[in-house]
């Protein structure tokens, strides 16, 4: 079973709006509270308090956490893209080497591999519920292909070409497991997301509070900062979550493989 988080079922536009509302709301709340403090104490309450330095330190911490999280998501996205290309190559090699199998095994293995590629292409457009079914069927095909390869190898134990097919099939199965781990199981932990959002809320509140404390006008620069933070947070989310997203992997290599298989099919 795959492990999904709440964020995986939250539409991108809703996550963006919720993040924007939280950030802007924190700035506005901080501004109003700072203004209240200024008016109630005639601007003397925190005259000696280094509020600006504290706000700068909080924003610096937020920038560090955001850069760390974004870098983590970007590295994993690049890893998924590399594994995807390796899997395409492994499937293509396995399909070509299926011709080395005995006559009663080669055509069946080729047909199963074509179905497998169809599943992989469909998975690039599937939602969370459908993706789980596709992965389950892919793993069933792994078992079918492996059992058939074992039988074929026993029929021709002295063959030097059948082991080549078995080797590429084994690599194909291993890459499926690696891709599954990289795309779905190796995610940014929920605690990091929670900590990032909490620090951001405090930072936005502090920026608004500083503006209100000195009785300045509405902190439009702070609002712009909040908007930029939400954009960066949205990009981090898109890099981290699997499925058909804005920053999804380009499936063209797998589609090309699918078309080449269909052309060569009997």
pLDDT tens digits, 141-178? 999 999 999 999 998 888 888 999 999 999 999 999 99
Average pLDDT of the residues of the chain: 84
In a domain? residue 199: yes
Question: According to the model, what pLDDT value does residue 142 have?
Answer: 96
What would the mean pLDDT of 105-130 be, rounded to a whole number?
87
3-state secondary structure of 256: helix
Q: Within 13 Å of residue 57, how many CA atoms lie on the same side as its CB?
A: 5
In a domain? residue 13: no
Question: According to the model, what pLDDT value does residue 148 have?
Answer: 94
8 Å CB contact between 226 and 20: yes
pLDDT tens-place string over residues 15-66: 889 999 999 999 989 988 888 887 776 655 555 457 778 888 889 999 999 9
Residue 240: how many CB atoms within 10 A of its CB? 24
In a domain? residue 208: yes
Read off the pLDDT band of 247 (50, 70, 90): very low
Question: According to the model, what pLDDT value does residue 70 have?
Answer: 92
In a domain? residue 139: yes
Report the predicted TM-score, pTM, of the whole model to 2 decimal places. 0.78
- Here the contacts of 170-175 (C-beta below 8 Å, separation 24 or greater) are 171/90, 171/93, 171/94, 172/87, 172/90, 172/91, 172/94, 173/142, 173/146, 175/83, 175/86, 175/87, 175/90
| Least confident window among 95-104, 170-179, 183-192 | 183-192
pLDDT tens-place string over residues 207-235: 888 888 776 666 677 778 888 999 999 88
What would the mean pLDDT of 92-99 be, rounded to a whole number?
94
| Least confident window among 89-93, 181-185, 206-210, 234-238 | 181-185
In a domain? residue 70: yes
Check residues 172 and 237 and name the one with the higher pLDDT: 172
In a domain? residue 195: yes
**Structural domain harbouring 123:** 33-40+52-264
| pLDDT higher than threshold 80 for residue 3 | no
Backbone angles phi, psi at 72, to 5 degrees: -60, -45
Distances 40 to 48, 150, 207, 208 between C-alpha atoms, Å: 17, 82, 20, 17
In a domain? residue 15: no
Read off the pLDDT band of 1 (50, 70, 90): very low
Q: Within 13 Å of residue 159, how many CA atoms lie on the same side as its CB?
A: 18
**Nearest Cα to 148, choosing from 116, 105, 117, 114?**
105
By percentage, how much of the chain surpasses pLDDT 90? Answer: 40
Number of domains, the chain = 1
Residue 196: how many CB atoms within 10 A of its CB? 19
pLDDT tens-place string over residues 76-87: 888 888 999 999
8 Å CB contact between 59 and 236: no
In a domain? residue 179: yes
Residue 36: how many CB atoms within 10 A of its CB? 13
Question: According to the model, what pLDDT value does residue 116 have?
Answer: 95
What would the mean pLDDT of 175-193 be, rounded to a whole number?
83
């Amino acid at each position: 079973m795959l492990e999904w988080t709440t964020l995986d079922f939250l539409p991108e536009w809703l996550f963006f709006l919720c993040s924007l509302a939280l950030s802007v709301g924190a700035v506005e709340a901080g501004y109003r509270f700072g203004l209240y403090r200024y008016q109630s104490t005639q601007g003397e309450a925190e005259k000696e308090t280094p509020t600006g330095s504290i706000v700068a330190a909080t924003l610096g911490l937020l920038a560090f956490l955001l850069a760390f999280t974004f870098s983590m998501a970007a590295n994993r996205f690049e890893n998924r893209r590399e594994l995807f290309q390796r899997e395409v190559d492994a499937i293509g090699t396995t399909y070509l080497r299926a011709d080395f199998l005995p006559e009663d095994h080669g055509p069946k293995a080729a047909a199963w591999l074509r179905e497998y590629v169809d599943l992989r292409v469909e998975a690039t457009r599937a939602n969370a519920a459908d993706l789980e079914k596709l992965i389950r069927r892919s793993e069933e095909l792994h078992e079918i292909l492996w059992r058939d390869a074992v039988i074929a190898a026993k029929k021709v134990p002295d063959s030097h070409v059948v082991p080549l097919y078995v080797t590429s099939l084994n690599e194909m199965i291993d890459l499926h497991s690696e891709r599954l781990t990289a795309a779905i199981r190796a995610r940014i932990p929920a605690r990091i997301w929670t900590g990032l959002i909490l620090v951001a809320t405090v930072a936005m509140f502090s920026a608004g509070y500083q503006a209100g404390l000195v009785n300045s006008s509405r902190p439009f620069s702070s609002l712009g900062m909040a908007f930029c933070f939400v954009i960066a947070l949205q990009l981090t989310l898109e890099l981290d979550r699997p499925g058909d997203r804005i920053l999804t992997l380009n499936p063209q290599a797998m589609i090309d493989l699918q078309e080449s298989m269909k052309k060569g099919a009997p």
